[in-house]
Amino acid sequence: MADMLDGFLALSEALTGFTGHRLRGTGQADAYLATATGIVGEGVMRDLLLAADEARASASGDAAKHEAELRRLIMSDDRLGPVARNIIRMWYVGSWYQLPKPWREAHGQSPRDQDHVVSPISYTEGLLWPAIGANPAGAKPAGYGMWAMPPRIAPG
């Protein structure tokens, strides 16, 4: 599973826009890989990671081409796209959301494919918080009255 973890982190970097270092820092990489694999199966996960490798290899370091290849090989694919979108959601909000009904009908349904929070800390470690420049309410200390002011969002 270690080789899958490296591939999963590489895919997750491309899908989320966060570095592998930042993703590892959440402490959720193993839990997210195990959740997704446990729901969609090792075959689908391996196919997803192989498609991500193919996209990266064919882009030859060109970021725009890499994004286009991810869209073509993964996001537009009826089998891989919904899984990739769920992985993005999982990284950002710490929850797995049930795959769409057409996906379940075409590829099978796992009893684990239910809306659920992945782990006790996945909410607080979600990428949503650094993306908006805020801390999760009531979960990470940032000083008295931290929610009295709106989050500071750097100009893009």
Q: What is the pLDDT of residues 19-30, one digit of tens each?
A: 999 999 999 999
The SS3 call for residue 100 is coil
Instruction: Check residue 33 and report its DSSP letter.
Output: H
Residue 156, pLDDT above cutoff 70:
no
Fill in the amino acid letter for 128: L
Instruction: Check residue 144 and report its DSSP letter.
Output: T
Sequence-ordered list of residues with C-beta below 8 angstroms from that of 7, at least 6 positions apart, any chain = 49, 52, 53
| Alpha-carbon distances of 67 from 72, 74, 119, rounded to whole Å | 9, 10, 30
pLDDT given at position 64: 92
Instruction: State what percent of residues in the chain have pLDDT above 90.
Output: 79
> The whole model's pTM is what?
0.87
Mean pLDDT of 37-60: 95
Q: Which residues pair with 95 in a beta bridge?
A: 117
pLDDT given at position 3: 87
Give the C-alpha separation, 142 to 24, whole Å.
22
pLDDT given at position 40: 98
Tokens in use for 114?
A: 């239910």
Of 115, 121, 124, the closest CA to residue 95 belongs to: 115
DSSP labels, 94-152: SEE-PPPHHHHHHH---TT-S-EE-STTTTTT-THHHHHT---TTTS---TTGGGSPPP
pLDDT digits (tens, 9 = 90+) for 50-101: 999 999 999 888 899 999 999 999 999 999 999 999 999 999 999 999 999 9
pLDDT given at position 138: 74
pLDDT given at position 33: 98
